Structure 1
């Protein structure tokens, strides 16, 4: 399978990062979102990231121009008719993803691979919305995409071996490290990370220690680059809650029960960095 042209659906932080690394690797990229202003904002993030690379002499202005020339804006899913691979990075909601994949199944060429950047939702269920489940796969990039090396590649129940191999090979061309994972709630990364964050929130909720103390213990004692509560703010508390709910529902095990304090903060609109307040305040 020869992948030359890629469509990325969702021009937010993850989608723009995925589009950037694909364009830097030499692929033609369509960055798609619902409104032109969303796509422009995503392209603006990419330009800002690349400009920083030029300032640090990691890239020349000409190289930046070449990368940007491989990026095009899209607001129509019908543009998928000309691509070899679609990477969906829309909101983490099964109903929305299933609807997008059902439409892509009708619009994308017969040979096209349909991938999802979901962080926790079952690939098998997303694939069931299409008539080509063997061509549906998970590509879970880490945030921030241009910096983080890992991509979890998730096989659905029906994913074909040649499709898996094509995506593994393509991932390597992005200078990323592909890791094969089977289709279970939360995959590997979030099945391990999110319960740790949730337990840190319980530790705060039960008054075991202050938020600063909890973060210091994990940074200095476990050599984590940032504490779990700071990391939760960075990820977004609404995202943390959604993933914990997905784990809780998927496994039916109370060890994945979201901490009441996490629910309380999300209901209050304290979502972390993006809202200006989570466990910490951000001005």
Structure 2
């Protein structure tokens, strides 16, 4: 079996040769940003929205991406062709690079990984999944950084949960560790819209699709409101729309996947099969908030 081919700092290399220096700041200090997307019918889904968000994250950490976004798009196309993957997950990583004083960023490293997409079990979508909450604080929540310590610590301690949802000091539900959070109260769809969350590409698509179907409130719910919500779900590139049926010890609604959530799952899946997807310009949404 042929090894996967990756891109690292100007070179296409097999997996066995994919290496970073031990003096790279992503290793020494956890300093880097990334973005993740997937393909549908071998087409990178909303590629430019993900590239714009990557650039926004890098700029805000004063990381200079070592090539243009158009060049990264070409690298991704090349890797999809080289690896001959039916459907792919794509991860673009920009690190602080090798640092001579082990602290100061110098020339950034660029890594692009294209690998076979791992799908979640179908019953996650038909039966729903559970989540826990955490009050652990994150740094730079608006940016997609490589620092996931609060997420890893929380989920390592709660093996039965598929996700963890962040609470702020006001006990508002913000977002999950790798996804955005939505819920229905009666017929109204709620999701957080603040400087405390990452504006997900899938989230923006869901809001666009939901606006044709339901009233929307861009505000968080509090932990104390959990018993009053009827349905909940999380959204992410790899998860799409995944129903939540339990948060901590709180059953969501009837404990089954709700009708509105099913409608959104179907609408999203139909959207992914379109021949063309309109760019969301998500980075400008972030800047203009």
The verdict on a shared fold, with TM-score over 0.5 as the criterion, is no
Looking at secondary structure, tell me which structure has more helix per residue: 1
Give the alignment's TM-score, normalised by structure 1.
0.31
Give the alignment's TM-score, normalised by structure 2.
0.30
Looking at secondary structure, tell me which structure has more strand per residue: 2
